[in-house]
Amino acid sequence: MVKVKKQTLERCKRIGNDPHIALLMYRATPLKSDMASPAELLNQRRFHTTLASTNKMSQQQKQARKKMEREKRDITETYNKRARQYRELSQHKPVYVQLDPNQSRWQRATITRTPTESQPRNYEVPLPSSATYSRNRKFIRPDLKTEEQVFEPDPETTPSEPRRSQRARCPPERLAYSRPDGDN
């Protein structure tokens, strides 16, 4: 986009045309043939340029807006199919943090600041190297070893021996065959 605008300004300077009219025409040009231009969608009005255009702008704007909303809804649905809902982590929890998303190296850390309303997915984690990082929940994993609670059964309620079935045991009949020497 910047490259196109720079080229337009250079061309206007070389030819001697007004650069403002050239940029106006660039903004008023529709991105697709069935949609209004970005400037027309933004300002809710038709721009007066020397470009040829139709007079049915209000109907075209409505159709373009509906199409954009439909495309946005489709993109949102597609994204939400694969998006994960992470559970919240509390403060002072031991976690693993991925410092560089391009590498699969995780370091131990502890959460010092949990998300706020202004930054809903932002956690602050200091590392042992005294560097503090601000990371999204996607790049933080809970330390499962410390989260597991050690289960210590109560000795009074725990029986000393495991409970066994009272059913009589009998061998399967398919193995009850007589041997040639006469022993069973």
pLDDT at 163 over 90: no
Which residues are bridge partners to 135 per DSSP? 123
Across the range 72-93, mean pLDDT stands at 86
* 98 and 61 within one domain: no
Three-state helix/strand/coil letters over 107-128 = EEEECCECCCCCCCCEEEEECC
* 105 and 61 within one domain: no
Q: Is 134 within a domain?
A: yes
Domain membership of residue 117 as a residue range: 94-147
* 117 and 61 within one domain: no
Q: Is 107 within a domain?
A: yes
Angular region, 16: left φ>0, alpha ψ -120 to 50, beta rest: left
pLDDT at 145 over 60: yes
pLDDT at 150 over 50: no
* 99 and 135 within one domain: yes
CB < 8 Å & 24+ apart, contacts of 100-104: 101/139
pTM, whole model, 2 decimals?
A: 0.40
* 54 and 15 within one domain: yes
* 101 and 60 within one domain: no
Q: Is 81 exposed, middle or buried (0-12, 13-18, 19+ CB in 10 A)?
A: exposed
Which residues are bridge partners to 70 per DSSP? none
Q: Is 157 within a domain?
A: no
pLDDT at 79 over 70: yes
> CATH no. for residue 120?
2.30.30
Euclidean distance between CA atoms 73 and 68, whole angstroms = 9
For every residue of 34-49, DSSP letters joined together read: TS--HHHHHHTS----
* 113 and 60 within one domain: no
Q: Is 159 within a domain?
A: no
Q: Is 47 within a domain?
A: yes
* 62 and 23 within one domain: yes
Count of domains for the chain: 2
Q: Is 141 within a domain?
A: yes
